Structure 1
């Protein structure tokens, strides 16, 4: 009697793996093995420590999303092996034409502040007006980065008629931060092209850490506790802007999230109000307990749960102009934008002793290293305070010696 044959288990070309992070969470990535070559795709999706039922539910949704991405990658690989190819006609599509279509689609979705995308289209036109989708590969991406950093300058911008762009450098070559912004926006558009099967792969996603343009560590502008008290006590000629700004100072929401915030997002849980929102920028779900200070700046509740909380907010550009006047009236000599409210919240959390992991989750950061910037700010302020004490005693000692 012959023994039954063992079933051969087919190896999947894509496997889900996780990497432990310093904050206790785990980062999901795909281990892809095709034609004897291994590659990795980091998904920027995270498994969080399951400290509550809400986090467990969030983790369940994250796992489902990871499995869906894995399945799509396997389908893509299988289609490639079967000889299924994208329409060759797309290869001849001009990159600038695709970017125009992408921009129009973003506008139809009501995406705010897409001026950066408009600037990127003009920059790409200047670099290679006749660049086609079939030309875009890793070599093209590296060439664009080199040109952007070493050849592209203010004179180029003048010739393109975008000298007054909010993203234009005042003089000389383009700044590193602006280069990062341009490449990031272009990469988003190319990812959309991959999803639409207009492009095989986004070459910017293939670059090594050494090949990428490093994002400079930003100088975060924020309000100190004393400045926050001063601006709170100062009238603003647009009360809705004041409410939205101060509310954000106590919960850390970005402007895009403030615009989208509805009354149904404010929930009661165990006798405490909290926000339950999915952040627009990162698609990260967050749960933010609301302090009494935050609740104090909410308008009167509307019976329609789907109505916006801060109804009647003007455009971001107008808001920032209002903030400039308001800050001046309060005697605050800082360049305030709405985003300083988010920086204020992050700095406040670290100042009062919140740990890095908690602050990271409250702000919806996908990487704890982003949150560490606020810890550095607080540390630098502590050093300044100690130095002030030293200087005070140095002056006293000098005075005693002179006497």
Structure 2
């Protein structure tokens, strides 16, 4: 399909502007080639031999208007609004396009990581030479089937439902972008149902359990200090591990952390309690790590469970349980959900609302708020 601006002299001596849409050609029964053209007259006219400044200005404005309409027509074609693919874009390699969309997320580490993981899987089920010319509903169904029944983790187990949900949604987001940018005539992602997101188990400690844990010795004191600090403040493992002293502010009216979240890349300003600050100890050089020697390892993970068992806790504790504990304790003690969301650095309030479901103390209290009735049955 080709668009161009054409001119036609009218019977009144004016030059009429119109858009010609060339849709190709065919051969009739006699073997004659027939061209398919459509015309859209713009009701804009040119002076044949402009002499005055006014006539020249009118000609210029008419041509500019025609050029704008031409640009819009081309844009509509590129976005597939004519039900046809751009002949150049349909030759684009799908995996190359996905990689380009992935690189757009480079400033969001967690999101970029999810896109990278998705790409690893897509390379296992999509040919490296597959182009948008081959993208259709059947193709999308094949990819969905791969994630549902074939894709496996590094441990050689099938993907969890939430992993299927996350990876397939990245794939569908790419299909939507492809349609928006004119690589496909339809958004094929809307034709295939995604996976259901499931609510994950979030293990947390009650105040009494945290208190018991604080009284018991841990084999690795730095691990104990970091876990309790996270329970009081809500920081993720990676943000505690990389925290340096220049990010700890001792102010006249309290204590504050000023750091960049590793997961989202966002800047966080977080007030902390005096007790949380005391866990950090004496200030050292600005570039020094606050939690020296803290490292992620299977040994530390095992010790967390053993430490919890010695405190009488049978729950399967991970370091992230400390962050969950902080959220629940804040909500149980009267903090509003918006404040908790900001402290945890959540980008969406619905992420924090999951913790509200875990708070059952207020629910228990509410059961006895209505005064006792005198009932005769």
* Same topology, TM > 0.5: yes
CA distances 1:348-372 after superposition (whole Å, capped 9, x unpaired): 1101100111111000111111111
Match of 1:91 in 2: 93
Larger-Rg structure: 2
CA contact 2:254–2:274 (8 Å) conserved in 1: no
Asked if 1:241 is matched to 2:226, the reply is: no
1:369 corresponds, among 341, 350, 360, to 350
Q: Distance in 1 between matches of 2:191 and 2:317?
A: 33
Match of 2:337 in 1: 356
Shift of 1:131: 3.6
Match of 1:332 in 2: 313
Match of 2:32 in 1: none
Shift of 1:35: 3.2
- Note closer, same or farther for the CA distance 1:257–1:212 as it changes in structure 2 (3 Å cut): farther
1:250 corresponds, among 200, 224, 232, to 232
Match of 2:203 in 1: 221
Number of residues of Structure 1 aligned to a counterpart in Structure 2? 289
Shift of 1:213: 3.0
Match of 1:127 in 2: 125
Listed as ranges, the gaps of 5+ residues in structure 2 are: 1-52, 80-85, 369-377
Match of 1:177 in 2: 162
Asked if 1:35 is matched to 2:97, the reply is: no
Listed as ranges, the gaps of 5+ residues in structure 1 are: 14-32, 40-82, 390-403
Match of 1:396 in 2: none
Shift of 1:132: 3.9
Shift of 1:296: 2.7
- The CA RMSD over aligned residues, in Å, is 5.0
CA contact 1:327–1:336 (8 Å) conserved in 2: yes
Q: Distance in 2 between matches of 1:274 and 1:201?
A: 49
Match of 1:279 in 2: 261
CA contact 1:94–1:132 (8 Å) conserved in 2: no
Match of 2:144 in 1: 145
- Note closer, same or farther for the CA distance 1:182–1:322 as it changes in structure 2 (3 Å cut): farther
Q: Distance in 2 between matches of 1:293 and 1:311?
A: 19
Shift of 1:94: 8.0
CA contact 1:243–1:299 (8 Å) conserved in 2: no
1:307 corresponds, among 288, 298, 302, to 288
- Note closer, same or farther for the CA distance 1:117–1:134 as it changes in structure 2 (3 Å cut): same
Q: Distance in 2 between matches of 1:319 and 1:352?
A: 30
CA contact 2:255–2:274 (8 Å) conserved in 1: no
Asked if 1:164 is matched to 2:155, the reply is: yes
CA contact 1:95–1:133 (8 Å) conserved in 2: no
Q: Distance in 2 between matches of 1:200 and 1:315?
A: 45
Shift of 1:270: 4.0
Match of 1:46 in 2: none
TM-score (norm 2): 0.60
Shift of 1:212: 3.8
Shift of 1:326: 1.2
Match of 1:23 in 2: none
CA contact 1:138–1:207 (8 Å) conserved in 2: no
- Note closer, same or farther for the CA distance 1:118–1:369 as it changes in structure 2 (3 Å cut): closer
Q: Distance in 1 between matches of 2:329 and 2:195?
A: 31
- Note closer, same or farther for the CA distance 1:92–1:181 as it changes in structure 2 (3 Å cut): closer
Match of 1:73 in 2: none
Q: Distance in 2 between matches of 1:234 and 1:300?
A: 23
CA contact 2:141–2:192 (8 Å) conserved in 1: no
